[in-house]
Structure 1
Amino acid sequence: MTATHTRPHTARQDWATGLTAFAAVMLFLAGLLSLFRGIMAIAADDVFVTTPDYVFQFDLTGWGWIHLALGVLAMAVSLGLFVTATWARITGIAIAGLVIIANFLSLPYYPVWSVVVLIISGFIIWALCVVQRDGDSYGGAGSR
């Protein structure tokens, strides 16, 4: 007789899996949107608002390259999140943080969209931080 030690399937595991999937999809979408924003800034920077006395004033083509690179990285890391790799969770938090910084600094150039991506990235970081390595979730109802 062989003894198997399997943990019972719990709602907490479903919640953790769902949060990781949410973060993966949202990180992919944020990356795709950053990619498009980067292409817009590189190809035709006249779609952006210009602010003459902004402290963090950069060339819009430079901002385009920054957003393009972050978008590609975010999309690549999101693929790792779909297979729940630990490296992808850690890197996803870092990439989402960089996306927040880049969108904050470029806020005057494309204000509404920057705020939308800031909020999405905040949810990505939250979703990746509330999941433990073994799949149990921190906080929430019923955790001790």
Structure 2
Amino acid sequence: MTESPITGHPVRQGVAAGVSIGAAVLLLTAGVLSLLEGIAAVAKDDLFVAGPSYIYRMDITSWGWIHILVGALLIISAIALMTGALWARITAIGLAALSIISNFLWLPYYPLWSILIIALDIVVIWALATWNPDKR
């Protein structure tokens, strides 16, 4: 049985699909967590404590809406990523990077949660950037 150069070895294709689905699930998890973080910030401003001298200081409600927007975009991107399309991979990497930036700016308000989301986003970017189904 010969293999087409386009399709590659079946095991490689299975691993590539697994990495893609794994990254999509991690991105979906990060999106849901960001969405919940944003809802918590909008619903209850007194849940979060910020130091008085933070340079990127914004109203907690504004940060909440930013996290709701980023979380919703991450969820949509994760669902699109499950199709395996190249544009979905590129979009997912960009949105994960945006999520890292927004959570870095959110660090003084909720540090452990932000570090968790940043770590998830780093894993997603790594998985999507290293996945190459056509690599031999």
Common fold by TM > 0.5? yes
- Largest Rg, 1 or 2: 1
* Aligned residue in 1 for 2:71: 71
Which ranges in structure 2 are unaligned for 5 or more consecutive residues?
none
Superposition pairs of residues 1-144 of structure 1, within 5 angstroms: 6=4, 7=7, 9-132=9-132, 135-136=133-134
| CA displacement at 1:8 relative to structure 2 | 5.2
Contact 2:27/2:121 (<8 A) preserved: yes
Q: Bigger CA drift: 89-98 or 47-56? A: 47-56
Write the deviation string for residues 36-66 of structure 1: whole angstroms up to 9, x where unpaired. 1111111102111221111111111110011
Equivalent residues, number: 133
| CA displacement at 1:5 relative to structure 2 | 6.2
Q: Quick one: distance in 1 between partners of 2:26 and 2:127? A: 10
Q: For 2:36, what is the secondary structure of its paired residue? A: helix
Contact 1:48/1:110 (<8 A) preserved: yes
Which ranges in structure 1 are unaligned for 5 or more consecutive residues?
138-142
Runs of 4+ in 1 over 6 A off after TM superposition: none
Contact 1:16/1:136 (<8 A) preserved: no
Contact 1:35/1:67 (<8 A) preserved: yes
The alignment's TM-score, normalised by the length of structure 1, stands at 0.86
Write the deviation string for residues 81-121 of structure 1: whole angstroms up to 9, x where unpaired. 11101111000000000000000001010000100100000
Q: Quick one: distance in 1 between partners of 2:41 and 2:66? A: 10
Contact 1:41/1:64 (<8 A) preserved: yes
